[in-house]
Structure 1
């Protein structure tokens, strides 16, 4: 979401760090994590369209996301 808004949540498994997920894990992520992020106002999730966009509070987490993204090669395996 740092680079693209809106973002198609069906493409989340194609993020650069190549998280391999089973279909169950994908469904869990969509139905557990996305609603929580939406509850906090970090994203707005449109499950029928499979789209997530930045929410009204996205800027509150932007710096942390940028820091993680900028230093992904320095983080322990499995953190992202």
Structure 2
């Protein structure tokens, strides 16, 4: 359980995983939505975080599969293990603090 909470400890990782609930495969470059980086960090800095921290961490946990060459992010072999937590967050987003998701 600690591993799942570690994966969910960062808003960017939560958003990647929740996005994968609905969209698979997710093709294109790893895009950081405007509302994530607006006023907080430069887009380039966040892209670097995604490539060097968030995506490798989720991949290591088996929650995503990430093809660095094609920039494709897919559900990993352990994604279904964290699915109930993600669905709970998604389904109750309006009851949670705005910056949680």
How high is the TM-score relative to the length of structure 1? 0.82
Report deviation, 1:8.
2.8
1:3 counterpart = 2:22: yes
The one of 66, 71, 83 equivalent to 1:45 is 66
Higher strand share: 1
1:50-73 per-residue CA deviation (whole Å, 9 max, x = no partner) reads 111111100010011111111112
Name 2:88's counterpart in structure 1: 67
Gaps (5+ residues) in structure 1? none
Higher helix share: 2
Number of aligned residue pairs: give it: 78
Give the direction of change, closer, same or farther, for the CA distance of 1:59–1:50 in structure 2 (3 Å limit).
Answer: same
Secondary structure of the corresponding residue to residue 29 of structure 2: helix
- After superposition, the CA RMSD in angstroms is 1.9
Name 2:50's counterpart in structure 1: 29
